[in-house]
Amino acid sequence: MNSSTTQKIDIQKVSTSRIGDVDFDNLTFGSTFSDHMFECDYKDGEWQNPTIKPYGPLTISPAAKVFHYGQAVFEGMKAFKDEDGKVWLFRPEENFNRINRSSKRMAIPEFPKDIFFEALTTLVKMDKDWVKPGLGNSLYIRPFVMATQVGVSASPSTEYKFMILMSPAQAYYTGDVKVVIAEHYSRSANGGVGAAKAAGNYGAQFFPTNLAREKGFQQVIWTDASDHKYLEEAGTMNVFFRVNDTLLTAPISDRILDGVTRKSVIAIAKRDNINVEERPVLVSEIVEAAKNGSLKEIFGAGTAAVISPVSAFSYKETVYELEMQKNGFATRFKNELMNIQYNRSEDPFGWRFEVV
């Protein structure tokens, strides 16, 4: 499939911004969107008509293949504003590369890098007033692709729409997060699409997560599909376990998402000479560590939440409480990541990307 295009972006600006109608102190994550959005269509073997236009609804056939066969992938990114009003992205090339890996796995044509970055930076610059300064404030960016060919035959679509939406955001999780270790349901399986940010991965999580919430837990720590012996991800995040002063996390595979925050945490930990083990993590070893006191922390890592500490987990109807660490690894990594993202500290890794 050809992923090239020679067309420039057509820009259509709103006549009046909606920003004055938004209460930025009371945002519900992912429900308010900025003035503009980007869209580009794949037809006749090429990406064409890249356009930035006012945010609004789409007209799409009910027979579009995305509704019938789930050909859709997405990404999650953020823009941050520093104290001088400069706007920054965090490792955007990682998101670009991953959405194309996800697309390839779902038989969707890859998107051109030049158009992706031109659209992304132009869109953020146009709606930069929607990026509010202050730690915890950001502009959440959602690139996604969906199959738009009309027809219900079970075959890959020949037409697609690539879009970017942006939504002002505050902190994703507030308060303690309690999780259930899955004993029956799984997020993904060997040879599946767990490593892709495919829309169906997340839809399949909702039912078991609802069951967990009925019991007073916010999320599920997923286990392997074969025997439910190994810990893999937590909700929509990669998950880390601190046993004494060693950091454990599941290795990347076709079941595990290659998280940008995950790899950033690992890079910081290794730089600071923290022992990191990327290996299969047994449920039994974490339960035993909780019993003998060597389990110090569990935390999720992802774009939306950044770092989300876990205060308790349940396994086989037994709840294990964790003493929250005031200056633990979770706090340390979150502070360091956010200081880089908001241009409050040096960026020794070269992760910041200024939108100019």
Of the listed ranges 84-88, 99-103, 170-174, the one predicted with least confidence: 170-174
1 falls in which pLDDT band (50, 70, 90)? Answer: very low
Lowest mean pLDDT among 4-13, 116-125, 259-268: 4-13
What pLDDT is attached to residue 179? 97
Q: What DSSP string describes 170-238? A: --S--S-EEEEE-SS--S--TTSSTTS-BHHHHHTTHHHHHHHHHTT-SEEEEE-TTTS-EEEEETTEE
Rounded to a whole number, what is the largest CA-CA distance in the chain? Answer: 63
Compute the Cα dihedral for 277, 244, 307, 176 and give only its sign: positive
- Give the domain 177-341 fold: D-amino Acid Aminotransferase; Chain A, domain 2 (3.20.10)
Residue 49 has pLDDT above 80, yes or no: yes
- Determine the average pLDDT of the residues in 192-211: 95
Kind and range of the H or E element at 73?
Answer: strand 72-74
pLDDT of residue 48: 97
Which pLDDT does position 7 carry in this prediction?
Answer: 63
Where, residue-wise, is CATH 3.30.470.10 in the chain? 10-169
pLDDT in tens, 107-162: 999 999 999 999 999 999 999 999 999 999 999 999 999 999 999 999 999 999 99
Considering the chain, tell me which residue range(s) the CATH 3.20.10.10 domain(s) occupy.
Answer: 177-341
The 3-state DSSP class for residue 285 equals: helix
Instruction: For residues 160 and 137, give the distance between their C-alpha atoms in angstroms, rounded to a whole number.
Output: 32
% of the chain surpassing 90 pLDDT? 94
Q: Which of 166, 170, 126, 134 is nearest to 17 (CA)?
A: 126
pLDDT band at 24 (very low <50, low <70, confident <90, very high): very high
Residue with token string 């037994």: 318
User: How many Cβ atoms from other residues are within 10 Å of residue 147's Cβ?
Assistant: 24
Q: Cα–Cα–Cα angle for 124, 308, 180, nearest 5°?
A: 130
In the structure, what pLDDT confidence band is assigned to residue 281 with cuts at 50, 70 and 90?
very high
pLDDT at residue 2, as a whole number? 36
The structure's pTM equals: 0.95
Residue with tokens 């950033």: 264
Instruction: Please provide the CATH number assigned to the domain covering 10-169.
Output: 3.30.470.10
